[in-house]
Copies of this chain bind each other. A is one copy, B any other.
Amino acid sequence: MQDALLHHINKFTPLTEDEEDIVLACTSVQQLKKKEFLLKKGQVCTTYNFIAGGCLRCFSTDDEDNETILQFAIENWWMIDYSSFNTRKPTHLNIQAVENTVVIKIHYDVLETLLEKVPKLERYFRIIAQRALDASHRRIEYVYTRSGEERYRYFSKSFPQFVQRIPQYMLASYLGFTPEFLSKIRAKKI
């Protein structure tokens, strides 16, 4: 079951069999049903989470429980609230399964030991974080320089298969506008 993770790590920093075994010993698998939560506002994020299959969303809520989707994560992506993880303080974010999802987790209590035993993983997580940072910067640029309609057209052209997997109101939230506005765009012409 953890093969997906090992495979992903090996793409960036090839591991020996021993190292793979250590990684396996430090991970656990969790199956989430659609709509189940991996993390809820008020809890501490105690794990690094790798998505082996399925889809998660990370969202914040305001006083009136309006949701703002900050991230999606699908197969081979990590979803971590670094702030809560590092400070050990309760998060203000929620992480929920958009569909049935398999998550491979590394717990806070074993992460530092794991990094000592398999120092190569420092490199792996560096590369992962740098890639995610680049993606995050691109997203900021896109939000700042393009209209809602442009963002929608670009996203659905770039990730048509993903758009099929999620409800439109979630896509609207992720793209930074209302579901009603998304309907308007779509009504114009597909």
- Residues of chain A at the chain B interface (Cβ within 8 Å): 60, 62, 68, 70-71, 82-83, 86, 115, 119, 122-123, 125-126, 129-134, 136-141, 143-145, 176
Contact = CB atoms under 8 A, between A and B. Distances in A.
Contact of A140 (B125, B132, B140): B140
Given A70-B140, A126-B122, A140-B70, A134 B83 contact: yes
A143 B141 contact: no
Contact of A134 (B68, B82, B134, B139): B82
Given A68-B144, A70-B144, A86-B130, 20 more contacts: A62-B145, A68-B145, A70-B137, A70-B140, A70-B141, A82-B130, A82-B133, A82-B134, A83-B134, A119-B122, A122-B123, A126-B129, A129-B130, A132-B133, A133-B136, A136-B137, A136-B140, A140-B143, A143-B143, A144-B176
Q: How many copies does the complex hold?
A: 2
11 contacts: A60-B141, A70-B144, A71-B137, A82-B134, A86-B130, A122-B122, A122-B123, A129-B130, A143-B143, A143-B176, A144-B176
